[in-house]
């Protein structure tokens, strides 16, 4: 297994030079490594420095109108479901286990709507 790779799908939300936000699907490579010996090797991504990790709770019906992200962050939905819309008109639905790299820190931003009670883990990057 050592040196083998796998792929992980990640949604990325970013803003262009005109301030419009967009979704794009990206693939992250993970490599087999001895992450926690003596446990067997697992697949690990390259490290990303983080400032802090927080949990978010969004109650069902929460609606956050268009806003830029406060900082670059990786958001992973642990439970519930939500919709997020970019300013270009795209809407995505997220369910438990989905991860999004949020980088629309300028411009119009995105909107968020909790379809159910949601718990998220957010790694704030900068």
- Considering the domain boundaries, does residue 30 fall inside one? no
Q: Which of 8, 16, 88 is nearest to 43 (CA)?
A: 8
- Considering the domain boundaries, does residue 118 fall inside one? yes
- The string of pLDDT tens digits covering residues 6-65 is 999 999 999 999 999 999 999 999 999 999 999 999 999 999 999 999 999 999 999 999
Q: In which domain, by residue range, is 107 found?
A: 12-25+48-124
- Considering the domain boundaries, does residue 1 fall inside one? no
> What is the C-alpha separation between 40 and 73, in angstroms, rounded?
30
- Considering the domain boundaries, does residue 66 fall inside one? yes
107 Ramachandran zone, left/alpha/beta (phi>0; psi -120 to 50): left
Q: What is the CATH number of the domain that holds 99?
A: 2.60.120.10
- The string of pLDDT tens digits covering residues 101-121 is 999 999 999 999 999 999 999
- pLDDT classification of 2: cutoffs 50, 70, 90: low
Strand segments, DSSP code E, in the chain are 5-15, 21-33, 42-44, 52-58, 63-67, 73-79, 82-86, 91-94, 99-103, 110-114, 118-124
Number of domains in the chain: 1
Cis omega before residue 70 (within 30°)?
A: no
Token duo for residue 95: 């369910």
For residue 91, what are the β-bridge partners?
85
Q: Is the pTM of this model over 0.95?
A: no
Token duo for residue 92: 């995505």
- pLDDT classification of 67: cutoffs 50, 70, 90: very high
Token duo for residue 107: 């411009």
| pLDDT at residue 1 in the model | 61
Q: Which of 126, 125, 124 is nearest to 56 (CA)?
A: 124
């Amino acid at each position: 297994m050592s040196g083998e790779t796998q792929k992980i799908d990640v949604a990325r939300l970013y803003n262009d030079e005109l301030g419009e936000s967009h979704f794009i699907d990206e693939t992250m490579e993970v490599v087999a490594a001895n992450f926690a010996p003596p446990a067997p090797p697992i697949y690990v991504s390259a490290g990303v420095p983080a400032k802090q990790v927080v949990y978010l709770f969004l109650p069902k019906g929460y609606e956050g109108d268009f806003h830029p992200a406060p900082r670059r962050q990786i958001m992973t939905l642990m439970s519930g479901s939500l919709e997020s819309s970019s300013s270009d008109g795209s809407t995505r639905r997220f369910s438990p286990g989905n991860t999004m790299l949020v980088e629309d820190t300028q411009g119009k931003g995105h909107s968020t709507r909790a379809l159910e009670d949601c718990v998220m883990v957010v790694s704030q990057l900068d």
